[in-house]
Amino acid sequence: MSTVVTGIAELVTNEPGLGDGLLGVVADAAVVVDGGAIAWVGPARWAPDADARVDVGGRAVLPGFVDSHSHLVFAGDRAAEFEARMAGTPYDGGGIASTVAATRAAPDDALRAALARLVREMRAQGTTTVEVKSGYGLTVAEEARALRLAGEVTTETTFLGAHVVPPEYTGRPDDYVDLVTGPMLAACAPLARWIDVFCEPASPHAFDGDAARAVLTAGRNAGLELRVHANQLSAGPGVRLAVELGAASADHCTHLTDADVDALAGGGTVATLLPGVEFATRSPYPDARRLLDAGVPVALATDCNPGSCFTSSMPFCIALAVREMRMTPAEAVRAATAGGAAALRRTDVGRVAVGARADLVVLDAPSYRHLAYRPGVPLARSLEP
């Protein structure tokens, strides 16, 4: 059954050939959806007939947000850690251990219910594609369990056994890397599309460049594609490693040298910025303008997790990107849609074009600009014709 969506004051397609500017905006537009895919896009006056009609009443319609970085399989709460950070305690990843303990102690059903709640929360704010990482289990069985649960809500599952060195391996990081690249990878590779590593020599809990290289190389040999937590707390080796190994995305990119920016500009790796983390850790924001001006492909994602940033809201990240990182509203919206799709190497999401998935978001506003103009207001919802 086909449905024509009309009354679209402003349609963001992300296809410059279809409309105006970076976002390929079509005014007074219509979209025909058929069998979960987009069958027609264009000015409303040319719209073909369809079996059903939905009139959105002069609102803006966008591709659903693609949240390409989240950690949603966990139990417990770190509100006290957040409160301490707001009073000046710096973030170094040390709190991850408390989430690992709570997650290991939680039954499957509790983790599944908490995960489903967060995915519902995201969807209610316009996110239609989400990547979900493991990384709060850190044993063979617990990482596999997290990935099985993640696989119930998304195909974009990421094995993050190398999140931090768990307490039982304190002082023996090399032994833990052997576990991650050996039996843990063997159990988790069939359950994941991606492998990730928290490459951060400045954190006593995370992994240096050599360990990160070992993890990523083993993952690639096991058939996984690569993404990297890179340069979050310091200008470490993560970004250049990500580019060298052909990772789809280098995430955080908060502390960059000129060599990092050059590598990103010359390679095929997307820089994924997570400004909710800087907000929630009271840290300086990444220099988005430097990346955009160098021609680096940029994505925005939430990094939703109980520690460094517990927001599920892509609109909030868009508002931060505009206000705090000086991205234009169009750049921020593009990064939250097409940028996220590129970071996940997907061409079927992040755009409104014939053949793409019919993942549409409607704003309770006439223009995409309102996402930043009206911060904190729940304007976006996914449209299910």
Chain positions contacting Fe ion, by CB under 5 A: 303
Alpha-carbon 19 to chain mean position: 26
Which residue lies nearer to Fe ion by CB, 14 or 272? 272
Which residue lies nearer to ligand NIG by CB, 31 or 119? 119
Dihedrals phi, psi of 254, to nearest 5 degrees: -85, -35
**Out of Fe ion, ligand NIG, none, which partner does residue 297 contact, by CB within 5 to 8 A per kind?**
none
DSSP 69: -
Which residue lies nearer to ligand NIG by CB, 13 or 103? 103
Which residue lies nearer to ligand NIG by CB, 59 or 229? 229
Give the Cβ contact number of residue 168 at 10 Å.
Answer: 10
**Out of Fe ion, ligand NIG, none, which partner does residue 281 contact, by CB within 5 to 8 A per kind?**
none
Q: Whose CB is nearest to Fe ion?
A: 303
For residue 97, the minimal CB distance to ligand NIG (Å) is: 9
Per-residue tokens: 198? 């928290």
For residue 99, the minimal CB distance to ligand NIG (Å) is: 5
**Out of ligand NIG, Fe ion, none, which partner does residue 125 contact, by CB within 5 to 8 A per kind?**
none
Tokens 């911060």 sit at which residue?
375
For residue 178, the minimal CB distance to ligand NIG (Å) is: 21
Per the CB < 8 A criterion, the answer to whether 37 and 352 are in contact is: no
Per the CB < 8 A criterion, the answer to whether 122 and 115 are in contact is: no
Tokens 């599952």 sit at which residue?
157
**Out of Fe ion, ligand NIG, none, which partner does residue 227 contact, by CB within 5 to 8 A per kind?**
none
**Out of ligand NIG, Fe ion, none, which partner does residue 198 contact, by CB within 5 to 8 A per kind?**
ligand NIG
Q: Whose CB is nearest to ligand NIG?
A: 307
**Out of ligand NIG, Fe ion, none, which partner does residue 99 contact, by CB within 5 to 8 A per kind?**
ligand NIG
For residue 160, the minimal CB distance to Fe ion (Å) is: 8
For residue 211, the minimal CB distance to ligand NIG (Å) is: 14
Residue 83 sits at the vertex; the CA angle it makes with 78 and 86, to the nearest 5 degrees, is 130
For residue 294, the minimal CB distance to ligand NIG (Å) is: 23
**Out of ligand NIG, Fe ion, none, which partner does residue 96 contact, by CB within 5 to 8 A per kind?**
ligand NIG
Which residue lies nearer to ligand NIG by CB, 71 or 369? 71
Per the CB < 8 A criterion, the answer to whether 95 and 44 are in contact is: no
Q: Where are the alpha helices (DSSP H) in the chain?
A: 79-86, 96-104, 108-124, 140-150, 173-179, 185-188, 209-221, 238-244, 258-266, 275-281, 288-293, 314-325, 329-334, 340-343, 370-373
Rounded CA-CA distance 369/187 in Å is 45
Rounded CA-CA distance 191/169 in Å is 24
For residue 2, the minimal CB distance to ligand NIG (Å) is: 41
The residues of the shown chain that bind ligand NIG, judged by CB under 6 A, are 71, 93, 95-96, 99, 198, 229, 232, 277, 303, 305-308
Picking from 332, 334, 361, the residue whose alpha carbon sits closest to that of residue 16 is 334
